[in-house]
Structure 1
Amino acid sequence: MLNEYYEQIEALILDITLIGLFLLMGYVVHDLLKKNNVPAIGKAVVYFVLFLGAAGFIFKGIMQYIIEH
């Protein structure tokens, strides 16, 4: 039974790992910005760039789902 769902399990674990990595990166960036007293505009730019990276993976997942189905 596990062999039948191997690809789905692998894709799910990959997605969970990517979510975890982006959350960890967000925490690290937040900590660095807080410790270095970065101005609000700098924080906004950094968070926007981090969001764009995450949005790219989300968009890729959506497109992959659309193409496969």
Structure 2
Amino acid sequence: MFAKHIDLIESLALNIGFVVLFFFIGMAIQDVLKKGNVPPFGRAIVWLVLFLGCAGFIAKGLIQLSWEGSGLA
């Protein structure tokens, strides 16, 4: 049974790993922004870039899911 579901387990582990990685990147960025006394506009730009990177991974996952569901990939 484990051998049948190895692909699902691998993809779940990879996605969870990405979530954890983005969380730690966000925490590190927040720490640097606080210690560096960055102005609010600069903070907004930094968080926007971080959000867009995360949104890119989410969009990639959704596109991949839809393509696999329709038989394209």
State whether TM-score is above 0.5: yes
| 1:23-61 alpha-carbon deviations (Å, 9 max, x no partner) | 000000000000010000000000000001000000000
Q: Which runs of 4+ in 1 moved over 2 A?
A: none
Aligned partners of 1:68 and 1:5: how far apart in 2? 17
Aligned partners of 2:2 and 2:32: how far apart in 1? 42
> TM-score, normalized by length of structure 1?
0.99
Matching of residue 36 in structure 1 with residue 30 in structure 2: no
Equivalent residue for 2:63? 63
> TM-score, normalized by length of structure 2?
0.93
**Structure 1 counterpart of 2:25, one-letter code:** M
Which segments of 5 or more consecutive residues in structure 1 lack a partner in the other structure?
A: none
The aligned length equals: 69
**Structure 2 counterpart of 1:59, one-letter code:** A
The structure whose RCO (Cα within 8 Å, separation 6+) is larger is 1
Percent of pairs with identical residues: 46
